[in-house]
Amino acid sequence: MSDSLLAALRDLLGPKRVLTGEALRERYVHIWRMTEGLRAQALVLPQNTQEVAAIVRLCHQRGQSIAIHGGLTNLVGSTDTRPEQIVLSTERLNRIEEVDEQSRSITVQSGVILSEVQAAARERELLFPLNFGAKGSARIGGILSTNAGGLRVFRFGMTRQLVLGLEAVLPDGTIVNSLKKIIKDNSGYDLKQLFIGSEGTLGIITRAVLKLVEMPRSRNSAVIGMQDYQQATGLLKFLDRNLAGTLSAYELIWPATYRAMTSPPAIPKPPLPYDYAYYVLVDSLGSHPEADRDRLLELLLEAQERGLLAEAVPALSEADLDWFWRIREDVRVVADRSPYDQHFDVSLPISDIGAYVAQRRPELARLEGVEGVYAFGHVADGNVHFIIGKTRADDGLRLRINELVYAPLRELGGSVSAEHGIGTHKKAYLHLSRSPAEIALMRLLKNSLAPRGILNPGLIL
């Protein structure tokens, strides 16, 4: 970076919002790697869209690459930086601008944390249904740019289904503003979808209008044990049919993962014994607290009589709800069981998940250097996560694990990324999920909107 660019950035933002030298050592590239100092020329802290646009224009003119940082929760290498880059952090784009109860929408800047959006909606007895374990640190810009999923995709869809309007800064500094609150808009291309899921390579998301729904009046959950994958899929169909659209989450946990999530150093204790081949965590959101609770209990008893489950423990209080969902959300306790860990989020047809995991787990476990294979996921939307615990971090082992996990997905019609994105870690495997024509179209879009490739260079393609 030239001295003239650094001076121009300081003139624009002031010296306190352009960090260089020793100040960068206090920064990091991931919330799980806080001991590693940030490698970059500078880090800039814009407070509004106009400042973002001015920064991008300056960098575009000089061909200066920019790495975009939000909550630093990404799991595919998208927040890694290079020494020659400028880092643009969205942390000061942190205002909730409006909650519109009539339109059931919330307008936020991209640096707002997900839990803050949820809380602002809850104050108006509304719900922003997107939810996952990193809700206390993930920022809206990163969530949108990766099209994040989470625990309620089965009922409410991925992030892109929850976005009404968007504002973004293009790679040349142009501001594209379409902050509409309307649900129906067939006036040409849906441009916001270009930026949702593009991982910051086509533009920097600065503001968004998000869709809210009415706050449910009841929530009911249960932890269920069973011995057969056919029971898991059969119970899913049974509950979905009989809960009349209120089933919001259906999480499947394999036994080694369940044990790791419910034994020390993990805090939650196991609601069910370690006797089952599969554990399911279900959640329903409804409107009649007592009736909804009784209905779920009736259905669980009926399902047991039908042979769809072996044992079930329902949540009988708010404390039980917190207990059950902490088990599923705090996946870091699983990763911490080994000195090194490798994460996957793949998707495939629900009917193939049982056999796929049954084949992958022993093959992975036999690799020298692997000491734990943990599977869990949002089985209702075909998404399986693996955390592979390793004793070492050599590249050969990493690539062998990748091959075992990813290789079967092409034949199964699956995807190497269900909800985490591609980043840098999955670029070499994109061809397993996308055809040559699709990848060529992605390149055409990127070359058209970002010919100089200065925004998050090296991601996806």
Q: 192: which 2 tokens?
A: 């916001």
According to the model, what pLDDT value does residue 3 have? 83
Q: What percent of the chain has pLDDT over 90?
A: 95
> In whole angstroms, how far apart are CA 162 and each of 148, 149, 183, 196?
11, 11, 10, 11
Asked whether residue 1 carries a pLDDT value surpassing 80, the answer given is: no
Q: Is 315:222 a contact under the CB 8 Å cutoff?
A: yes
According to the model, what pLDDT value does residue 35 have? 82
The pLDDT tens digits of the residues spanning 284-309 come to 999 999 999 999 999 999 999 999 99
204 or 26: whose pLDDT is higher? 204
Q: Say which residues have a Cβ less than 8 Å from residue 220's Cβ, sequence separation at least 6.
A: 283, 284, 286, 292, 293, 296, 314, 315
Q: Which of 430, 381, 364 is nearest to 132 (CA)?
A: 381
The pLDDT tens digits of the residues spanning 213-237 come to 999 999 999 999 999 999 999 999 9
Q: What's the CA gap between 333 and 353, in Å, rounded?
A: 24
Q: What is the DSSP letter of 212?
A: -
Residue 185 amino acid letter: D
The pLDDT tens digits of the residues spanning 55-103 come to 999 999 999 999 999 999 999 999 999 999 999 999 999 999 999 999 9
Using DSSP bridges, classify how beta strands 383-390 and 86-89 pair: parallel, antiparallel or unpaired: unpaired
> In whole angstroms, how far apart are CA 85 and each of 39, 42, 219, 249, 449?
8, 7, 46, 40, 20
Q: What is the mean pLDDT of residues 445-452?
A: 95
The pLDDT tens digits of the residues spanning 311-367 come to 999 999 999 999 999 999 999 999 999 999 999 999 999 999 999 999 999 999 999
Q: 362: which 2 tokens?
A: 């022993």
The pLDDT tens digits of the residues spanning 143-195 come to 999 999 999 999 999 999 999 999 999 999 999 999 999 999 999 999 999 99
First to last CA, the chain: 24
Using DSSP bridges, classify how beta strands 42-44 and 18-19 pair: parallel, antiparallel or unpaired: antiparallel
Using DSSP bridges, classify how beta strands 66-69 and 86-89 pair: parallel, antiparallel or unpaired: parallel
Name all domains of the chain by residue range, CATH numbers in brackets. 3-89 (3.30.43.10), 96-214 (3.30.465.10), 218-329 (3.30.70.2190), 332-447 (3.30.70.2740)
